[in-house]
Amino acid sequence: MDLAETISYMIETFTPKDKEQTDSAVHKLVRAGTKAPITTEDDIPFTTKQIREAIKEMDKKKAPGKDGIMSDILHCAFSLLSKSTTALYNGCLRMACFPRRWKTAIIIPINKPGKETSNDIAKYRPISLIRTIAKILETVLINRIMYHMHSQNLLSQNQYGFTPQTSTVDAVMDIKHYTQKSMEEGQYVALIKMVLLVVPRMHLNVTFSFQGILKNKKRWFKSDT
Q: DSSP labels for 63-97?
A: ---TT---HHHHHHHHHHSHHHHHHHHHHHHHTT-
Whole-angstrom Cα distance, residue 212 to residue 185?
41
Average pLDDT over residues 127-149: 88
pLDDT tens-place string over residues 147-166: 877 787 877 777 777 777 88
Q: In sequence order, what are the residues at sequence separation of 6 or more whose Cβ sits closer than 8 angstroms to the Cβ of residue 181?
A: none
DSSP state of 40: S
Measured in residues, the chain has a length of 225
- DSSP reduced 3-state for 47: coil
Q: pLDDT tens digits, residue range 62-96?
A: 889 999 999 999 999 999 999 999 999 999 888 88
Determine the residue type at 83: K
The span from the CA of 205 to the CA of 218, in Å, is 6
pLDDT of residue 100: 87
Q: What is the pLDDT of residue 206?
A: 47
Range among 30-44, 146-160, 173-187 with highest mean pLDDT value: 173-187
Q: Which among 138, 129, 137, 136 is positioned nearest to 64, based on CA atoms? A: 129
Q: Record the pTM.
A: 0.70
